[in-house]
A and B are shown apart, each in its own frame.
Chain A
Amino acid sequence: MSKLHSSHELPPLKPYIITFGALIAITLFNVTISQFTSGSLGLILTMVLASVNAILVLAVFMGLWWDNRFHTVAIVTTFLFLSLFFIFTMLDVATRDDLDPREGPAFDIKSPVQKEHSSGHGGESH
């Protein structure tokens, strides 16, 4: 990684043009494959491609490649903390019913007041 000597030095133009081309190409590719994939494989592929796009924007357009390393550290830390939020919350939601199962949704958009009384909700059976 090359670092510029001062903040007033201009990074070269070429990486910007290549990056712009790559961003468009990846976006179009992402749209195309989304038509043929589905389920979790589709989700993973889509997110990987989106992440590549994001990294390109961060590294080139936002100049992290040439910039003070601390800025990279700050942004990586930010994504790490966001992923903590994500992982713990998902952990709860994904395993919430494992030991204490619930049955069926207890709501209905057409009549937003609880209707479990009429539908024989069995949540108290354990």
Chain B
Amino acid sequence: MSHVPNINFFKATTGLKSWLFTLDHKRIGLMYLGFIWFSFFLGGIFALLLRLELLFPNGWFLTDRQYDQLFTLHGAVMVFLFIIPSIPASLGNFFLPIMIGAKDVAFPRLNLASFYIYVVGAVFGIGSMLIGAVDTGWTFYTPYSTSTDTAVITMTLAAFILGFSSILTGVNFLATVHNMRAKGMTWFKMPLFVWSLYATAVIQILATPVLGITLLLLILEKTINIGIFDPSLGGDPILFQHFFWFYSHPAVYIMILPAMGLMSEMISTFSRRSIFGYRFMAYSSIAIAIIAFLVWGHHLFVSGQSMYANMIFSFLTYLVAIPSGIKVFNWMATMYKGSLDLKTPFLYALAFIFLFTIGGVTGIFLAALAVDIHLTDTYFVVAHFHYVMVGGTVMAFIGGMHYWWPKMIGKMYNEYWARVACFLIFLGFNLVFFVQFIMGSKGMPRRYHTYLDQFQPLHAFSTYGSWVLGLGFLVMIIYLIHSIFYGEKAPANPWNGITLEWKTESPPVLENFDKVPEITHDPYDFAAVDGKKYE
């Protein structure tokens, strides 16, 4: 084996080629990070345009079809290009091997391949916007998707390709967690972020292929009319919804589980306390991954699905609340009597708890059959899943990015501006979406750009909020980019964390550690490290 020089991975090799053909999980993670935020801003611009259009009740600058295309693109970009790969592919890629004391992921070439598959998928997705943007909604429901003349095939092909990128990432992570752990890193010494990525990998591997076959069948339906989803040929459009949601409900947990893992890291570090109920946290990640596969029918309550199926799915959906509740309460218990350090990542973690709880509780409303019939396809649903996805996943993602920014880039960001941005994002988000709960419960349907005059004040309020939210992200991007060039040099361990990633330099050396550290304590055993009791 060749000798590995002891220098940080930025400087080990240079030039564009050294990035394009890199097999280093850290560089691949950073390239993902760049593309993922690019997608986020693309989807974000669509969102701002949507909100702008909704400022007035009778439509403003968009036609009906343009509005349909815009909300479809917002959804498809945010789901397939941003939030599904978001945490696992970027932060997960960078930190999973480091946190278990490995030199790299199990299959570095596969890792690079899945990155390029992602890029190809992105090219198809963005290409489809140019040749006749899709107007079906990101769910591609038949029979509309088989009859519209917009670029459904290109967009489904994009989602199909992106699905394979996600599967390969899952395969890689699962093998890495199983076989690449350093000596002494037993299963129950793994940080919870690793546990959550493991649970995510299980979902990615077992659910995503069904999305693949669904979209393949949709493409076959559109090209050679195989007929199984087309009611005019004897097919069953509800079957498409089963196929689609067998993937897409578990996909919600592909989005939220890694965020929950990040939460555990940040909360324990900034409270300087061992995570409360470590094993329960690990098991609840696995439990969420399993229950994820049992509840997809709650998306079909008003589709004409069998009443018996409705009842069973409604009951099973309530079960999700149990492991999620365990997590929220354990985070609270971890903070209790901890020495809290209100740094930016921790502020995002607090925002997560607040927003995710609202998102989760409104999910319980929607799981109730009778209530759901009133709320289906209203802004209540829109607000609910934005509270979970943006209030949950995106908050944790930004928090995690700040938490590890010094480690990844080797520079400190400006704490003052980071707090300003955090405040703006938190405020803006609530301004946009809280009123949507009210509108939805009053019957404002989603996916229309004209509405009754009585909703105008609330819609306007929501639109103004979107400007605050957008400003928050703008501030964030400015100080982060600024920090890359002018930031203070980061120490190896700015937050006094005790998981393995803090035991290497910032940024890490080429093979992550000069010498793989000995694992002597549990991942969050601050008492042992500090030599005193925190009780």
Would you call B233 and A91 a contact (CB within 8 A)? no
Q: How distant is B96 from chain A, measured CB to nearest CB, in Å?
A: 19
Would you call B294 and A93 a contact (CB within 8 A)? no
Chain B residues contacting A85 (CB-CB under 8 Å) are: 210, 246, 293
Of chain B, the residue at the smallest CB distance from A102 is B304
Within the complex, which residue of A99, A106, A112, A113 is in contact with B307, where a contact is CB–CB below 8 Å?
Answer: A99
Cβ of B223 under 8 Å from chain A: no
Within the complex, which residue of B234, B242, B313 is in contact with A107, where a contact is CB–CB below 8 Å?
Answer: B234
Would you call B309 and A106 a contact (CB within 8 A)? no
Q: Provide the bound-state CA to CA distance between A85 and B209, in Å.
A: 12
Would you call B239 and A91 a contact (CB within 8 A)? no
Q: How distant is A64 from chain B, measured CB to nearest CB, in Å?
A: 17
Would you call A105 and B234 a contact (CB within 8 A)? yes
Cβ of B236 under 8 Å from chain A: yes
Interface of B is mostly: helix
Chain B residues contacting A105 (CB-CB under 8 Å) are: 234
With known contacts A107-B234, A112-B233, A114-B232, A81–B206 Cβ distance under 8 A: yes
Would you call B306 and A91 a contact (CB within 8 A)? yes
Cβ of A89 under 8 Å from chain B: yes
Q: Provide the bound-state CA to CA distance between A106 and B304, in Å.
A: 16
Q: How distant is B222 from chain A, measured CB to nearest CB, in Å?
A: 15
Cβ of B5 under 8 Å from chain A: no
Cβ of B178 under 8 Å from chain A: yes
Closest 9 CB pairs of A and B: A92-B309, A95-B306, A96-B306, A92-B306, A107-B234, A89-B242, A99-B307, A95-B308, A81-B206
Cβ of A51 under 8 Å from chain B: no
Would you call B178 and A95 a contact (CB within 8 A)? no
Chain B residues contacting A84 (CB-CB under 8 Å) are: 293-294
Q: Among residues 424 to 482 in chain B, which have CB atoms less than 8 Å away from a CB atom of chain A?
A: none
Would you call A106 and B231 a contact (CB within 8 A)? yes
Q: How distant is A27 from chain B, measured CB to nearest CB, in Å?
A: 27
Chain B residues contacting A109 (CB-CB under 8 Å) are: 233-234
Chain A residues contacting B246 (CB-CB under 8 Å) are: 85, 89
Chain A residues contacting B150 (CB-CB under 8 Å) are: none
Would you call A88 and B309 a contact (CB within 8 A)? yes
Would you call A96 and B294 a contact (CB within 8 A)? no
Would you call B305 and A112 a contact (CB within 8 A)? no
Q: Provide the bound-state CA to CA distance between A100 and B303, in Å.
A: 13
Would you call A96 and B242 a contact (CB within 8 A)? no
Q: How distant is B67 from chain A, measured CB to nearest CB, in Å?
A: 28
With known contacts A84-B294, A93-B239, A107–B233 Cβ distance under 8 A: yes
Would you call B234 and A98 a contact (CB within 8 A)? no
Q: Provide the bound-state CA to CA distance between A84 and B263, in Å.
A: 31
Within the complex, which residue of A81, A92, A99, A100 is in contact with B242, where a contact is CB–CB below 8 Å?
Answer: A92
Within the complex, which residue of A78, A81, A93, A94 is in contact with B236, where a contact is CB–CB below 8 Å?
Answer: A93
